[in-house]
Amino acid sequence: MSATTQTRPPSAARQRILDAAFVLFYARGIRAVGIDLIIAESGVAKATFYKHFPAKDDLVVAYLDKVDAIWTSQLKEAAEAAGADPASQLVGLFDALSSACRRDGYRGCAFINAAAESQPGTAVHDRTVRHKGAVLEWVRDLARSAGAPDPESLARSLTLLLDGGLASGALDASPEAPAVAKASAGALVAAALRPTPPPT
């Protein structure tokens, strides 16, 4: 391929399949949705489906790729909206919970849901682990930039709180949950960045 050759965009049929899977997998669960239903909802022939996705797991991973792009973008936009200060961004990223948990049909974190329905060592489970690892790494980099003495510990605490907020939004649908999670994040960040008093 020459340097001027552009990558072709995904075919319309592949996009219809992925769009149908995106809605069905999230609303009903991965195991509950069969290939035949996705084919019917996307309006493609079975041969066309298997041309793009030889196995169901291939489609599930593509679905998770799409979720990853959307959720990661929402997290980073929420962080950047809090300003240039990394400490403020660590708290501000929790504003993404508000839009996520309050939307119609919210069923929790798609990655946690997928992990619960997949076996360790499979392509689907590995994709969920990569996503969570990437979020942790990003938060750890922010914590380091904010001057946290132990950025790993702070990042793990914040990502656990983020996952808890996502789960709470699905379990109790409390409208206060995002605000509570953000306030807790603020307390964690403040405590982590508080100067250690000199020994007496």
The pLDDT tens digits of the residues spanning 146-190 come to 999 999 999 999 999 999 988 887 776 666 788 899 999 999 999
d(CA 86, CA 126): 29
- Position 8 scores a pLDDT of 53
Four-residue CA torsion sign, 9, 12, 16, 21:
negative
Residue 60: CB partners within 8 Å, gap ≥ 6?
21, 25, 30, 114, 123, 124, 127
Residue span of the structural domain in which 182 resides = 57-193
Answer yes or no: do 78 and 166 share one domain: yes
Portion of the chain with pLDDT greater than 90, in percent: 77
The predicted model scores a pTM of 0.88
- Of 20-34, 37-51, 169-183, give the lowest mean pLDDT range: 169-183
- Same domain, yes or no, for 70 and 50? no
Average pLDDT over residues 9-21: 90
* CATH assignment of the domain containing 85: 1.10.357.10
Q: Which of 165, 168, 150 is nearest to 78 (CA)?
A: 165
Among residues 165, 155, 161, 114, the alpha carbon closest in space to that of 133 is found at 155
177 Cβ contact list (under 8 Å, min separation 6) = 97, 101, 165, 168, 169
pLDDT attached to residue 167: 85
30 located within any domain: yes
Cα(191)–Cα(157) distance, rounded to whole angstroms? 12
What is the per-residue pLDDT for 196? 64
Q: Which residue has the tokens 């508000």?
A: 98
Nearest to 110 by CA among 94, 133, 132, 137: 132
What are the tokens at 134? 């990437």
Q: Are residues 81 and 108 in the same domain?
A: yes
What digits encode the pLDDT tens for the residues 88-146? 999 999 999 988 877 778 888 999 999 999 999 999 999 999 999 999 999 999 999 99
Does residue 5 sit within a domain? no
Answer yes or no: do 77 and 147 share one domain.
Answer: yes
The pair of structure tokens assigned to 185 is 């994040």
- For position 48, which CATH number holds? 1.10.10.60
pLDDT confidence of residue 108: 87
Q: Indicate if 22 and 102 belong to the same structural domain.
A: no
- Judge if 179 and 80 occupy the same domain: yes
